[in-house]
A = this chain, B = another copy of it.
């Protein structure tokens, strides 16, 4: 049993970490930290946890010693905590964007400021088990990628690695409202966000830099908020290299994912759910990937879908924890997903 602390536990990602870790057989969440909610009961902020925890939020200034610390604060704030934890601190799993980009120049371009602690970035292993599992087994600093970045990287990486697609890719991403966090802003009001098709990032979404880093492709990403609380889906518009057929694509995906516990290949000819769709994945740690190749041309659409708070965040972080600790990778992540929902 390891002793876990969560900094930023009052947000939506923090709540998902709690949902997954409270019943986890090998981890005990001993303290949860929130600057804004200190003193309140955890289940008053995350009411789904009623009956599952007596914890209250603690001021992050009173950070205890933990075997593993998860950080789920606002982007830009994790660097402070990592710095103050110091190099001897135990395992840190960061869910913010702070240590995702290895290139400080890319950070500056996408986040608008110089990196607050650029020298620490090299310590972090990207928290993407499907690509960095071996390093994760011994990593003490893990940086969990962005939700849409995870979906797109998983959809594109096997094709890029096998040389099946040309290097320019356009990603059209859709995401639910929980991706905007739990702050009370007009943007996130029900009456304003309901039924939206809101192009909040017509170009240069920050996650495109992560996809480029992980796949080596030249990536453009546009992102639109659609009516959903959870769920993200990416359509990756690619061009295949000459001679590439459907079987090559399927083989590349199978080679990459046949032993993966949380990636399924969904690319059927028929059926309502023949391609990846996030609504089936709500609450689960799956990322479904699939594709459709135009029979008359070299046009390929590769698709990824996931729950942005689970495989796109907290679930992926728990999967990294399981790997790091040598536990079975599915531990605590068994939820299958619902239909209908």
Residues of A within 8 A of B (CB): 12, 15, 19, 22-23, 44, 46-52, 170, 172, 174, 177-178, 182, 184-199, 202-204, 220, 222, 224, 226-231, 233, 235, 237, 264, 266, 271-273, 275, 277-280, 282-284, 288, 292, 294, 296-297, 299, 301, 303, 305, 334-341
In contact, B336 and A198 (Cβ under 8 angstroms): no
Cβ 8 A contact of A340, one of B184, B191, B233:
B191
- Whether the pair A177, B197 counts as a contact (CB closer than 8 A) is no
Q: Flag if B182 contacts A184 (CB, 8 Å).
A: no
Residue of B nearest to A233 (CB): B197
When C-beta atoms are compared, the residue in chain B nearest to A226 turns out to be B226
Residue with the greatest number of chain B CB neighbours at <10 A, chosen from A19, A47, A280: A47
CB <8 Å contact, B189 and A184: yes
Chain B residues within an 8 Å CB radius of A44: 271
Residues on B with C-beta less than 8 A from A188 are: 184, 189-191
- Cα–Cα, bound, A170→B185 (Å): 33
Which one, B22, B220, B275, B341, contacts A230 given CB within 8 A? Answer: B341
Q: Give the number of copies in the complex.
A: 4
A23 to B334, Cβ gap below 8 A? yes
A237 cross-chain contacts in B, Cβ below 8 A: 170, 172, 220, 222, 237
Which residues of chain B are within 8 angstroms of A191 by Cβ–Cβ distance?
12, 177-178, 182, 188, 229, 340
Known pairs A197-B231, A203-B294. 7 more at Cβ < 8 A?
A: A50-B264, A177-B189, A198-B275, A202-B301, A203-B292, A227-B227, A229-B341
The answer to whether B189 touches A338, judged by C-beta atoms less than 8 angstroms apart, is no
Give the residues in chain B near A283, CB-CB below 8 Å.
283, 335, 338, 341
> Which of A22, A196, A202, A340 is the most central at the interface, judged by chain B CB atoms within 10 Å of its CB?
A340
Cβ-defined contact, A195 with B271, below 8 A: no
Residues of chain B with a CB closer than 8 A to A190's CB: 177, 188-190, 192-194, 229
Smallest CB–CB gap between A302 and chain B, Å? Answer: 9
Residues of B within 8 A of A203 (CB): 292, 294, 297, 299, 301
B335–A197 CB distance below 8 A: no
State whether A48 touches B336 (Cβ < 8 A).
yes
Given A15-B339, A47-B273, do A194 and B177 touch, yes or no (CB 8 Å)?
A: yes
Nearest CB on B from A125, distance (A): 27
Q: From A305, which residue of chain B is reached at the shortest CB distance?
A: B197
Given A12-B340, A186-B272, A229-B194, is A174 in contact with B224 using a C-beta cutoff of 8 Å?
yes
